[in-house]
Structure 1
Amino acid sequence: MPDPGSPLARLGVSIQHLLPQRALTALAHRISTARAGWIRRPLIAGFRRLYEVDLDEAVVPASGFDSFDSFFTRALKPDARPPASVGTGLLCPCDGTLSQAGPIFEEPSGGRIVQAKGRDYSLAELLADEKAAEAFTGGRFATVYLAPYDYHRVHVPCDATLRTEIRVPGRLFSVSDATSRHIDRLFARNERMVALFDTAHGPMAVVMVAAMLVAGIETVWDAGLRLRPGRDVARIDFDPTVRLSAGAELGRFHWGSTVIVVTGRDAPDWVDGLVPGRRMRLGEALTGPRAPGRAEN
């Protein structure tokens, strides 16, 4: 892989502007959901060799998947990701690599989130809801990138009540480290699903960001009926609300992408050591006591 800051990486990012993103994604979906053995078997076998996927922790054995997509969105055994003991704190919602984490910066134009060194974007634009964004004033965020070899289901960080789902149409740029360094407002430009929750700590948002070749975002409350948004932003306010327990499945990516967790001012602080590049595991503690003498954000 080229250095994310190299000229070669910048060239790769530039080419993405010219690619037929939706056509390529639609083709990937057709191939990944094909049930013919001559398609799915070599795809699964090749992927396992390339990424050394551990299927010992999967519920279904290697021979039990009826498509590459079912392999990619595989469920894990109940004991594969035991949750950390954080009391009423927050857990990491997925496997992946931490891209960024920290405070939501407040400016006259509203809250902003760091995307990469020298780049940030508007929280209101990410959520596609200015009023919802105001509720996170003084809060924090954590961005986790899911590589192709990661487990691709997303879980609830804490006991939460789903208040609103917002489906936002957009581009389908890659969400790799190189792309996040070179494309402004990447996560606020890509297609995404925004889930707004009420919790004991105040408001929480979990944003699932789509990318090139991601065939869709499925949520447990949609039962797979709406993988993609339409041409316009679509909002559903739930009445009655949907109650989800900490660690319960929230949704899944059909191919990989990025998850962003946003919390309000009254939520617990992030644990120390949440630095870019850190490998994360589903159920790992996101919140906890800070080291003695550490300054508050």
Structure 2
Amino acid sequence: MHITNIISQYFGKFAKTEFPSFFQKIINGVYAKIFKLDLSEFRGAKYYKSLTDLFTRELAIAREIDEDKEVFISPTDSLITQCGNLDEDLALQIKGMEYSFEELLTYNCANNFDKLKNGTYMNFYLSPRDYHRYHAPCDFEVKKLIHIPGKLYPVNLKYLNKQIDLFAENERVILECIHEEKLFYMVFVGALNVGQMVFEFEPKVETNTKIRDIQIYDYEEKFLKKGDCLGYFKMGSTVVMFWEKGFVELENLLGQSIKYGQGICKKLV
């Protein structure tokens, strides 16, 4: 097990501990102040029973989402660190740092590589201050979930600029998705500190454990609606989306902070 996994497991034990109420309020308040949490759509920091509870908080006020059926919405509150057209199989984790989606998705998705080449992609970075639940970007069918154990390097801009193939080295969960017979992938990348990801439609998934083998779950008629909560990160991380060639046209969002529910691209057909 890599040192990043060990550190994350120990921090995870602290984060999920429910301390006495007065002490927990102090922990939550300090965290909210340090990371400048905007809790206007949530309960106050003092109401959460643990740091993990605060971090994985649910919206207390329903958020409006773009209901246009031709539009994909952002699955998360995040910073768009990179997006654009794939160069064959190459994407950017950050400017100047290329990686192959084939390495990220692994041979388990090889039958779809040709569809993805020269398609489009977008990277969503979730900072410690962000809302950490992730949602369905459109109505879609989940065909496959692939859990790939790995390291848990930080995914902030500093590490994206220095760690080659960071996304492909870190633990991740891949969703293979179909929308109106078109293919897209969502890749949820684990990160330092806790490193756990939860998927509400698949409770068998356990990340940052002693599991070292790739786990694959296949589905028949597993449908999700636009805006459905898919699950949540138990500390900051990244989502990467890939669309097959000719599927969507991306909005120009590079370097922008966006919210779950905001439109990120439109279907071309």
TM (normalized to structure 2)? 0.91
Query: Is the counterpart of residue 88 in structure 1 residue 67 in structure 2?
Result: no
How far 1:85 moved relative to its partner? 4.4
Contact 2:149 2:207 in 1 (8 A): no
The corresponding residue for 2:86 is: 104
Cα RMSD of the aligned pairs, angstroms, is 2.0
Counterpart Cα distance in 1 of 2:207 and 2:24: 21
TM (normalized to structure 1)? 0.83
Counterpart secondary structure, 1:90: strand
- Cα deviation per residue 1:251-278 (whole Å; 9 max; x = unaligned)? 210011001111112322112x222x21
Counterpart Cα distance in 1 of 2:195 and 2:169: 17
Counterpart secondary structure, 1:115: strand
Using the aligned pairs only, state the percent identity: 25
Contact 2:135 2:230 in 1 (8 A): yes
Q: Give the letter aligned to residue 97 of structure 2.
A: R
How far 1:53 moved relative to its partner? 1.5
Counterpart Cα distance in 2 of 1:225 and 1:196: 15
**Structure 1, unaligned runs of 5 or more:** 1-18, 291-297
More off after superposition, 140-149 vs 121-130: 121-130
Counterpart Cα distance in 2 of 1:39 and 1:23: 26
Counterpart secondary structure, 1:105: coil
Bigger radius of gyration: 1
Match of residue 132, structure 1, among 112, 134, 150:
112
How far 1:117 moved relative to its partner? 2.3
Counterpart Cα distance in 1 of 2:125 and 2:102: 21
Contact 2:70 2:267 in 1 (8 A): no
How far 1:224 moved relative to its partner? 6.9
Counterpart secondary structure, 2:116: coil
Query: Is the counterpart of residue 188 in structure 1 residue 168 in structure 2?
Result: yes
Contact 2:147 2:205 in 1 (8 A): no
Contact 2:28 2:46 in 1 (8 A): no
How far 1:148 moved relative to its partner? 0.1
The corresponding residue for 1:283 is: 261
The corresponding residue for 2:97 is: 119
Query: Is the counterpart of residue 27 in structure 1 residue 6 in structure 2?
Result: no
Change (3 A) 1:243 1:176: same
**Structure 2, unaligned runs of 5 or more:** none
The corresponding residue for 2:26 is: 42
